[in-house]
Amino acid sequence: MPLYQMRQDLFRFGDDYTIRDASGRERYFVDGKALSIGAKLSFQDMNGHELLWIEQKLFHWGKTFEIQRAGRVIALVRKKPFTFLKARFTIDVPGPDDLEAEGNLLDHEYRFTRHGARVAEVSKRWFDLGDRYGIDIAEGEDDVLLLAAAVVVDQSCHEKR
C-alpha cells in the first residue's frame, strides 16, 4: 500500500489536488490558482495553513517551478527538454543533495532518486480509474517537499487535462 494517495480534483476550478495518507485520511490540499499566467499552487494542510508555495517560472528554457517554504526558495524543479516518452527532472535543493526524477509518460510512473538511491516512487499502477497516484516515500525524507515535487511532475507532464 502506498504511503500517500494523490488525486487531482477534476471537477474544481483550477488545478487542485487532495492528498490522503495510507489510512485514507485527508492530509494535504493543493489549491491551484485559476486564471493565473503560469501555474501557481498553494500546498496546504487540511486546516488551510500554507506549507509550500509552488510557482511556475516563466521565460525559462524548459518548464521550471520554484517551491517556497515561508518565503524562502527550497527547491527549483526543472524539466529536462528533448526526452522521448520519458520525463526527466532535476530538483535543485540547497547543498549537495539534489534529486533527480524520471518517469514514463505513458504509464504514469515516476521515481525520485538522490545519488542513484530511490527516495520516492509515484505510481498509477495501484489504481485503476481517474487521476490518482500512489506515492511511496522513503523513511526520513521531507514528505511535503516530495509530494510537492510530484505535483510539479504531474503539472508538467499532464497540463492539458
**What is the C-alpha radius of gyration for the chain, rounded to an integer number of angstroms?**
14
Alpha carbon distance 77, 65 (integer Å): 5
pLDDT in tens, 38-75: 789 999 999 999 999 999 998 766 689 999 999 999 99
Give the domain extent around 73. Answer: 4-157
Supply the CATH number for residue 112's domain. 2.40.160.200
Distance CA 107, CA 124 (A): 7
Residue-wise pLDDT tens digits, 115-136: 999 999 998 765 555 568 899 9
When divided into structural domains, the chain yields a total of 1
Q: What share of the chain is helix, strand, coil (3-state, %, to 5)?
A: 10, 50, 40
**What contacts 125, CB < 8 A, 6 or more positions away?**
107, 109, 134
Phi, psi angles (nearest 5°) of residue 33? -80, 115
Predicted structure pTM score: 0.88
**What length is written for the chain?**
161
